[in-house]
Amino acid sequence: MNSNMRHFHFIKALLKAGALSLLVLTSGLRADQKNLHQVQDLDYGVSLFHFYQQNYFSAITDLLVADHYQRIKSEDKNPYLLLGGLYLSYHLHNKSSEVLQGLLDDEETNISNEIRDRAWYLLAKDYFRNNLFSDAKKALLKISDTLNQEDEEEKLYLLNTVYLKEQDVNKAKEVLDEFSDESIWKVYAKYNTASFLVQTEEGADEGHRLFDEISSIQSENPEKLIIQDKASLALGYLSLKNEDSEAALEYFNNIRIDGTETNKALLGLGWARYREKEFAKAIIPWMSLASKTASELTVQEALISIPYAFEKMRIDEQAMLQYELAIHSYKYQLSETLQLHKFIKSPDFIKQLSAGNLGNESMPVESVIKKINPLMTTYLLSLMTSDEFQEAVSTYQQVKHLKYRLDHWKSGVPALQMILQEKRKTYKNKLAKTMGDSNLGKVETLSKRKDKLERELGEIESKEAFLELVTDDEVVQLELLKDNNKRLKALRGSGEDITEQENKQRLLNGLLTWKIKTEYPIRIWAAKKELIQLSRAVADMKKSMISLKSSWTSAPQDFSQFDRRIANKEKQIQNLSKKVQKAVVRQEKHLRSMTLHALKLHRNQIKLYHDRALFAKARLYDSLMAVK
């Protein structure tokens, strides 16, 4: 590679990077799934509601609380899929693996193939994100055929990527045939495979062919168009590397003028013309690049390349002017990156990455990043759009939110202590009042009377003593008949004829006795019913007394237990707060270090361009002075 082909570092970086990392961390359930299952547990339903509202922290805590109190009663295993998926989205790989593996190892419950496949699917994602590619492959191969179409395509994408990680390119190529023709995942997998192949001597031609297939896709899908541009860009720089400028021009011209790869294509177009010694034509795309305010390195490369072309055309004054313009631009950017360096080291950098309103949930990463210092977007856009940076910011948001929740809980401890104190005071007041209530002693009296009535009723029933169940009116009537009988008895000795009165007396006595005797079954049944109701009332009163006595006995112990629990929770919160605070500091340091490192690399590249421009200007100036 000669000195005029310095731009090839772009293709090296491009091919090493491979495909776009688009592993989506979906949880066990998707809002757009057609095969919805029936929710049988209220707590699971509440957690699902929070999940669909993107309140993932609340969704996790709802599931954990429901599991702790054993509120999930049905055999539905979807709650555990959801929990495993949520853990995965929070990058809690150990927790996610524990839940999902536990679900798969559960021999007591015969889980369906759909649940089993989704558990393996999520577990494979977990292993993949944790760089355990061998375990990820095993999990992916255990999945049968119950996944929906999109998840099945993503599974194949992951499997293709794992094979490439293991350098098993033959297996990776076999997987490409299993995708559906219109799948976006197939395009990503094909791009990955092509990127891998072109870096090997024996697979370069096949990789080139796969890139050609991608670049010739006819589609209006925005994602496919981006990959199509990337494939054309890769082919263009590969052609330049192989000294085929004409092919490179064709590939670069296929790239959209308003796409993500436009700047790299313009730079490549210039170098392709430069290679053909068409210096004037090379300047045109470079000038287009130089007119942009973008700070990416393609623009900086164009700034230093333009005067090279003017030198080749022997237009030295213009070359000198372009060198000065480039040097001025580099100085300005070095000055701004120095300001950015100071900003990153200042507290404002972390403050801008902190959510303004934590609320009940952590804020989305994009809502935080878009409000950051504009210099970050100008010079570190590639870092800000990278998975690594966004995951770091997301982790920072989560630990900050956790700290907020712990502080909120900590501030609530005094309120719990006050409530417990008020409960204790109320208990003492009610206890004194209750213990002095004279009605407490009546319970035993009532119980004794009930027992006495029960015995008496038993004796009446056993002897069929129906006269024992007479009413008050009947008692009066019986007394009147008895008194009348005495008077009749006295009249018999007087010689007076009282036959008619005696007959009436016998009739009345017979009628009353007959009435009492015939109504005896009804009366004994009614008496038993009333006795049963009385027994129930007495039993309820006894239970209340037992409960009351139990409360008298256990309340002081319960209060002491609550005291200990509150103190224990307070200690746990304090310990967790210390750990979380350390995590916050550690994540802040990591974010700052990551950003400073990326800025250092960018500044070093600008310094390199600046030094090259200074050297070239000095060299050109010396040559011009020597001619004079």
- SS3 track for 472-494: HHHHHHHHHHHHHHHHHHHHHCC
Band (329; pLDDT cuts 50, 70, 90): very high
Q: Which residue's structure tokens are 């009628």?
A: 511
Tally of structural domains, the chain: 1
pLDDT by residue (tens digit) across 256-274?
988 889 999 999 999 999 9
Specify if 71 maps to a domain. yes
The residue-averaged pLDDT of 266-294 equals 92
- Would you give the end-to-end CA distance of the chain in angstroms? 34
- Please list, in sequence order, all residues whose beta carbon lies within 8 angstroms of the beta carbon of residue 11, skipping any fewer than 6 positions away: 234, 237, 238, 240, 241
Q: Give a yes or no: residue 136 inside a domain.
A: yes
Residue 38 burial (CB < 10 Å; 0-12/13-18/19+)? exposed
7 pLDDT higher than 90: no
Q: Which two tokens stand for residue 312?
A: 């080749």
State the Cα–Cα distance between residues 588 and 581, nearest whole angstrom: 11
Decide if 119 is inside a domain: yes
Residue 34 pLDDT grade (very low, low, confident, very high; cuts 50, 70, 90)? very low
State the Cα–Cα distance between residues 524 and 517, nearest whole angstrom. 11
The pLDDT value given to residue 438: 59
Which residue would you say has higher pLDDT here, 546 or 574?
574
**Dist. CA 416–CA 607, nearest whole Å:** 61
Give per-residue pLDDT as tens, 527-568: 778 777 777 777 777 777 777 767 767 777 777 888 888 889
Read off the tokens for 231.
């494939």
Residue 589 has pLDDT above 90, yes or no: yes
Residue 62, domain CATH: 1.25.40.10
330 class by beta-carbon count within 10 Å (0-12 exposed, 13-18 middle, 19+ buried): buried
In a domain, 107, yes or no: yes
Q: CB of 113 within 8 A of CB of 144?
A: yes
- The larger pLDDT score, comparing residue 22 to residue 138, is at 138
Q: How far is CA 24 from CA 29, 33, 93, 221, 555, in A?
A: 13, 16, 15, 18, 53
pLDDT higher than threshold 80 for residue 374: yes
How many Å apart are CA 168 and CA 324, to the nearest integer?
Answer: 51
The pair of structure tokens assigned to 437 is: 């209530």
Residue 272 burial (CB < 10 Å; 0-12/13-18/19+)? buried
pLDDT of residue 54: 64
Q: Tell me the pLDDT band of 64, cut-offs 50, 70 and 90.
A: confident
The answer to whether the CB of 248 falls within 8 A of the CB of 268 is yes
The pLDDT of residue 27: 32
DSSP state letter for 38: P
For 531, other C-beta atoms within 10 Å of its C-beta total 16
346 dihedral zone (left: phi>0; alpha: psi -120 to 50; beta): beta
Angstrom distances, CA of residue 599 to CA of 335, 379, 455, 508: 13, 8, 98, 121
Domain hosting 76: range is 37-147
- In 3-state terms, what secondary structure has residue 31? coil
Higher pLDDT, 324 or 560: 324
Q: Could you tell me if residue 42 is inside a domain?
A: yes
pLDDT, position 613 = 94
Judged against a pLDDT cut of 60, whether residue 3 lies above it is answered with: no
| Top-confidence residue, 395 or 9 | 395
> What pLDDT is attached to residue 197?
94
User: Token pair for residue 390?
Assistant: 């966004």
With tokens 């037992």, the residue in question is: 546
Q: Is position 113 within any domain?
A: yes
Q: What six digits make up the tokens of 540?
A: 């309820």
User: How far is 286 from 263, CA to CA, in rounded Å?
Assistant: 9
The DSSP 8-state label assigned to residue 373 in this structure reads: -
Tokens of 415: 């309120």
- Give a three-class secondary structure readout of 128-183: HHCCCHHHHHHHHHCCCCCCCHHHHHHHHHHHHHHHHHCCCHHHHHHHHCCCCCCC
Cα 376 to Cα 253: distance, rounded to the nearest angstrom: 31
Say if residues 186 and 180 touch (Cβ distance below 8 Å). Answer: yes
Helix axes 184-197, 169-176, angle to 10 degrees: 150
Per-residue pLDDT of 173-201, as tens digits, reads 999 999 998 899 999 999 999 999 999 88
Does residue 517 fall inside a structural domain?
no
Domain assignment present for residue 109? The answer is yes
